[in-house]
Amino acid sequence: MKQITGIPVSSGIVIGRVFRLGRAEQRVPHQRIEADEVSVELQRVDEAFAEAIEDLESLRDRSRIQLGEEPAKIFEFHMGLLKDPSLRKPIEDRIRNELVVAEWAVADEFRIVADRFSSMGNEVFAQKASDIIDLDRRVLDKLMGEDTSRLASLDEPVVIVAHELTPSQTAGMDRSKILGFATDLGGRTSHVSIVARAVDIPAVVGCKNLSQIVENGDWIIIDGDAGTVIVKPSDDQLEAYRDRQSIVTTYREKLRKTASGEAATTDGVRISLLGNIEFPDEIPSVLENGGEGVGLYRTEFLYLTKGHEPTEEDHFEAYRTAIEMLKGRPLVIRTQDLGADKYTQEQAEEPERNPFLGCRSIRYSLQNLEGFKIQLRAMLRAAVHGPIKIMFPLVSTVMEIRQAKMLLADVAEELAEEGIPHGTDVSVGMMVEVPSAALMARAFSSEVDFFSIGTNDLIQYTLAVDRGNERVANLYTGASPAVIQLIKSVIRAARRRDVDVSLCGEIAGEPIYTMLLLGLGLRTLSLVPTQIPLIKTVIRTVTIEHCERVARKVGTFDSERQVLNYLRDELRKIDPGSPGGWTAD
């Protein structure tokens, strides 16, 4: 038995068998095989090399056409290396003699060759070393890519353990095949975690070296509320967790029954609870959980699952579907928030060194106008079918919002000239998720119809803490007095100009913050759909007067510890006894 405590990111308990999902960039496990498995491993090496050579052939042909003969020679050279028996033979020998998996033999042999080149201390050989590393990735990708197809053909559901997952891998998870997941890396608001909550798959991230210590088929327990992961649990542990699993399920069902109806405080102040979605097919979940509409539609997921630039029709169909499903209820569509941990780095020849501070979100859109305009056209065309609002992400300067609005006006003019029906009176808003935008909220308030405060990023940029880095996860918190002060000043600036303001970061779905947010003056929250019943329950238990008192008190604290302890105590006072859910932070 081995127990690891990671970061709980998606609620629920699962018990199942491990499926290790590999990625070429991660360290390859030193896994042994039986003597009768040697021929299978040799065959895998054969196929992986053949596929890698095939890829290189087409890359060579393409670059010959696009770039000329000289650059194409690089691929020719790489193909030569892969065909060279002096590279291949030692790999096969190690599988036969040391009885190790193909991945290990390949990775270790390539490493030996690369080290040999780099120790020769001359630039030409150093280049050869990096060629070898590149080839190593290519072959390993082929070997480990098999996991995805193996996963698709499983007949019993499994628990995924991986070093790291991408948001698109998580979004593509089939609920009937995947019970839950645990990863070595990640933080509470990394997009992988957000998607896990959206698709309601229990998950724990930041589990250090978990993926190195599990083997396929091991029994594992994942507690997405406490952050506990137990590998090879004892019978007693299994029994205890099965009991807890049924208590949590019953509690969630009970909450869900109270999902419909208004969210109003006991003194009659109505709060609007909307859902955050990544795909239109999450809308039924928003409505079943008692949401009044969609406050944040993260459209970039269209790119993530398609793996290429969506066409205008792809966009249009997605937005029209969402509008039709909502039947006149609110829908805030956010323009593409690509970059950072989403899409562009995987596509880039040269990934950015610091992508969260790089060409992300609105910056990326304004540098890639063609794709951006396609999206804006589709949004305006979809607006004919129902009420939508358009929102721009990660705005950090007034110039950016002006440019974005100008483009929207250009697109509307083009549509008018082409005689294509489109919305003419669409509300335009921006996310406030960068300190510069929060501090200048007053200036921004004369540019837009509404603000939506995105605390996931606002926390990361205010505190200089990467939202996806488990090593600094203890520093990442919405209870920071600095963050709370920024939220407060945005609300104040919005009120002065009569600009609508809401909050759509993950803290909107965390009950510990509900009283504070209402007390600060927020009346619209957008959150992960499955948390709506719980937040509604909290709202129905409190008065606004009490919430304002809570917010005033929080304003007197200067450390996040004090804020958290106080908010936890306040929540405990009104919690009628839930199994862990209410007080989790």
**Most distant pair of Cα atoms in the chain: their distance:** 79
Catalytic residue among 78, 207, 422, 504: 504
338: which residues sit within 8 A by CB, 6+ positions away? Answer: 300, 303, 344, 360, 361, 364, 365
The option from Mg ion, ligand PEP, none interacting with 293 (CB < 5 to 8 A, set by class) reads none
Establish if 109 lies at the interface with Mg ion (CB under 5 A): no
Q: 191 an active-site residue? A: yes
41 vs 433 by CB, closer to ligand PEP: 433
Extended beta strands in 110-218, E state:
158-162, 178-183, 203-205
Q: How far is the CB of 483 from ligand PEP (least distance, A)?
A: 11
Q: How far is the CB of 505 from Mg ion (least distance, A)?
A: 7
Which residue stretch of 216-224, 407-415, 449-457, 576-584 sits at the interface with ligand PEP (rule: CB under 6 A)?
Answer: 449-457
433 vs 466 by CB, closer to Mg ion: 433
Q: How far is the CB of 385 from Mg ion (least distance, A)?
A: 27
Q: Where are the alpha helices (DSSP H) in 180-300?
A: 191-198, 210-213, 235-257, 283-288
| Cβ-based neighbour number of residue 559 at 10 Å | 11
Residues in contact with ligand PEP, shown as a per-residue x/- string from 28 to 57 under the rule CB under 6 A: ------------------------------
Q: 207 an active-site residue? A: no
Supply 171's token pair.
Answer: 């979004």
Over its C-alpha atoms, the chain yields an Rg (Å, rounded) of 26
Helix (H, G, I), strand (E, B) or coil at 503: strand
74 vs 428 by CB, closer to ligand PEP: 428
Return the H-helix or E-strand segment holding 502. Answer: strand 500-503
Which of 164, 457, 510, 570 binds Mg ion (CB under 5 A)? It is: 457
Distance of CA 255 to the CA centre of its chain: 26
What is the rounded distance in angstroms from the CA atom of residue 158 to the CA atom of residue 156? 6
Q: How far is the CB of 483 from Mg ion (least distance, A)?
A: 14
Catalytic residue among 191, 315, 422, 546: 191
Helix, strand, coil shares, percent, the chain, to 5: 55, 15, 30
Let me know: does 292 contact 330? Beta carbons within 8 Å.
yes
The option from Mg ion, ligand PEP, none interacting with 285 (CB < 5 to 8 A, set by class) reads none
Distance of CA 300 to the CA centre of its chain: 11
Distance of CA 571 to the CA centre of its chain: 28
Helix (H, G, I), strand (E, B) or coil at 149: helix
Establish if 429 lies at the interface with ligand PEP (CB under 6 A): no
Q: How far is the CB of 503 from Mg ion (least distance, A)?
A: 12
Establish if 505 lies at the interface with ligand PEP (CB under 6 A): yes
Supply 528's token pair.
Answer: 């992960």
Which of 108, 337, 341, 400 binds ligand PEP (CB under 6 A)? It is: 337
What is the rounded distance in angstroms from the CA atom of residue 390 to the CA atom of residue 430? 8
Q: How far is the CB of 194 from ligand PEP (least distance, A)?
A: 6
Q: How far is the CB of 34 from ligand PEP (least distance, A)?
A: 46
Extended beta strands in 393-437, E state:
427-432
Residue 461 vs residues 394, 435, 480: alpha-carbon distances, Å: 11, 7, 12
Residues in contact with Mg ion, shown as a per-residue x/- string from 133 to 162 under the rule CB under 5 A: ------------------------------
Residues in contact with ligand PEP, shown as a per-residue x/- string from 162 to 201 under the rule CB under 6 A: --------------------------------x-------
The option from ligand PEP, Mg ion, none interacting with 505 (CB < 5 to 8 A, set by class) reads ligand PEP
Establish if 282 lies at the interface with ligand PEP (CB under 6 A): no
- Count of residues near ligand PEP by CB under 6 A: 11
Establish if 274 lies at the interface with ligand PEP (CB under 6 A): no
Establish if 454 lies at the interface with Mg ion (CB under 5 A): yes
Supply 114's token pair.
Answer: 């690369």
72 vs 196 by CB, closer to ligand PEP: 196
Establish if 509 lies at the interface with ligand PEP (CB under 6 A): no
Q: How far is the CB of 339 from ligand PEP (least distance, A)?
A: 10
- Through-space distance between the first and last CA atoms of the chain, rounded to whole angstroms: 27
Establish if 504 lies at the interface with ligand PEP (CB under 6 A): yes
What is the rounded distance in angstroms from the CA atom of residue 518 to the CA atom of residue 543? 9
Sheet holding 2-5, edge to edge: 2-5, 228-231, 219-223, 13-21, 158-162, 178-183, 203-205, 7-10
What are the residues binding ligand PEP (CB under 6 A)? Answer: 194, 296, 298, 337, 433, 454-457, 504-505
Which residues are known to be catalytic? 191, 504
